[in-house]
Structure 1
Amino acid sequence: MSTYAIIETGGQQLRVEPGRFYNIRHFASLMPSELEQNTKILIYRVLMIRRESDINIGHPWLRGAVVKGRILHSCLENKIMIYKMICKKKTRRKLGYRQKSTRFVVDSIFLDGEEIYK
């Protein structure tokens, strides 16, 4: 809990720590053909960095803050079932949907060119 960053990617905000992996719905800057294993990624949309008792907050993003990571693999989320029924018309419709996601691991967090350690 000593060092973490809050980033914005894939339409959501995530609290990330170095050495942990996370699932992201999609990376807007990468094409699907570039989502291969061990592809290095840099995330510049860093909203906040906490280091020990220091807290740096961006407006809206921090300048000079970078989260470096690499892609582990692409995967599919659990299936979501959509069931639509119109009662007095005797119509039913059942659909299933699986969201594509990408698992990545955070290697390090940089602030103004200086690496922040755990």
Structure 2
Amino acid sequence: MSAYAIIETGGEQLRVEPGRFYDIRYFISLKPEMLDPNTEISIHRVLLIHNESTINFGHPWLKGAIVKGRILQPCYGEKIKIYKMHSKKKMRRSLGYRQKLVRFVVDLICFDGDEFY
């Protein structure tokens, strides 16, 4: 089993592994013009790291733990339909919304100088 980490970003917690890509809502520290492809990112809000038989917990975050990756592309999520209707009032309203997402790939997980691929 390879190493994995649990990170907090975009208001949610994700289980990430090196070499896989993930879609998240947004990066708080990056402005939209900085979200170009192949932009290197480092995430310091790491809650847990699991490597082979060792598990390291943070309270709330691990000190010295970094998840490094790069942005692949900005994208959109699935469309959310909002439909409001009042019966007997002839009021109907339909709205749609697509969340802006960022697809990024995790390159490596670092903890106290050790790198896990």
TM bucket (normalised to shorter chain) is over 0.9
Question: Once the 2 structures are TM-superposed, how far is the Cα of residue 20 of structure 1 from its aligned partner?
Answer: 0.2
Q: 2:74 & 2:116 partners in 1: Cα distance?
A: 28
1:56-67 aligned within 5 A:
56-67=56-67
1:30 equivalent in alignment to 2:52: no
* Cα displacement string for residues 56-88 of structure 1 (whole angstroms, at most 9, x for unaligned residues): 000000000000000000001111110000112
1:71-90 aligned within 5 A:
71-90=71-90
Quote the residue 1:103 is aligned against.
103
Unpaired runs of at least 5, structure 1: none
Q: Secondary structure at the match of 1:33?
A: helix
Q: 1:72 & 1:2 partners in 2: Cα distance?
A: 22
Unpaired runs of at least 5, structure 2: none
> TM-score, normalized by length of structure 2?
0.97
Q: Secondary structure at the match of 1:47?
A: strand
> TM-score, normalized by length of structure 1?
0.96
Q: Following TM superposition, where does structure 1 have runs of at least 4 consecutive aligned residues deviating by more than 4 angstroms?
A: none
Q: 1:2 & 1:34 partners in 2: Cα distance?
A: 31
Quote the residue 2:11 is aligned against.
11
Quote the residue 2:115 is aligned against.
115
Quote the residue 2:2 is aligned against.
2
Number of residue pairs aligned between Structure 1 and Structure 2: 117
RMSD: 0.8
